[in-house]
């Protein structure tokens, strides 16, 4: 059985604003990468993301960026097993000026360690969507002090 998941949420902001909140390292660092993001998400770029709850910058390989539509990246989802997974973020404008964000990830080995890592990442991406919604809609950083 292939280990994969998709999480989704609706953000009450236009698609260009939501998309920019992910591709801009300054904006991403406001609500998600608690240790900071380095480098803009652009096709072919290698950037780093750092988190207080998992210290040490993670390399992120950007495979594809289609403005206001899709981001495809690969990153080391489980340092212990040297597992790199593929993450696809899709941004869909809704009729009421909201944006549907869908995040999918796959690529773990079909082992107990892979299953554990996939559940952890599913939790992380769900948290990212919640934090992005709170920050974009209300200016609240949900992760501030959460892990430190």
Percent of the chain with pLDDT over 90: 74
Is-contact 94 10, C-beta < 8 A?
A: yes
Residue 105: per-residue pLDDT: 97
Q: Could you tell me the two tokens for 88?
A: 């696809």
Measured in degrees and rounded to the nearest 5, phi and psi for residue 40 equal -80, 140
What token pair was written down for 60?
């992120």
Cβ-count burial 109-139 (b if 16+ within 10 Å, e if not): eeeeebeebbeebbebbebbbebbbbbbeee
Whether 72 and 86 have beta carbons less than 8 Å apart is answered as yes
**Sequence-distant (≥ 6) Cβ neighbours of residue 89 within 8 angstroms:** 22, 70, 71, 72, 101, 102, 103
Query: What CA–CA distance (Å, rounded) separates 42 from 67?
Result: 9
Give the residue extent of every domain in the chain: 4-138
Model confidence band, residue 78 (pLDDT cutoffs 50, 70, 90):
low
Structure confidence at residue 145 (pLDDT): 78
Fold of 4-138: Alpha-D-Glucose-1,6-Bisphosphate; Chain A, domain 4 (3.30.530)
Q: Is the pLDDT of residue 12 over 90?
A: yes
Query: What mean pLDDT is reported for the chain?
Result: 92
- 32: its two tokens: 């998600």
Q: Give the pTM.
A: 0.93
């Amino acid at each position: 059985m292939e280990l994969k998941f998709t999480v989704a949420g609706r953000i009450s902001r236009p698609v260009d604003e939501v998309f920019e909140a992910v591709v801009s390292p300054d904006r991403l660092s406001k609500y998600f990468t608690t240790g900071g993001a380095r480098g803009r998400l652009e096709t072919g770029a290698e950037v780093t993301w750092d988190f207080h709850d998992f210290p040490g910058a993670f390399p992120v390989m950007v495979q594809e960026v289609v403005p206001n539509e899709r981001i495809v990246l690969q990153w080391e989802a489980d340092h212990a097993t040297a597992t790199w997974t593929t993450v696809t973020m899709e941004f869909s404008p809704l009729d009421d000026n909201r944006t549907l964000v869908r995040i999918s990830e796959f690529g773990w080995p079909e082992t107990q360690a892979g299953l554990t890592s996939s559940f952890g990442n599913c939790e992380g991406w769900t948290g990212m969507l919640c934090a992005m919604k709170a920050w974009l809609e209300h200016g609240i950083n949900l992760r501030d002090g959460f892990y430190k």
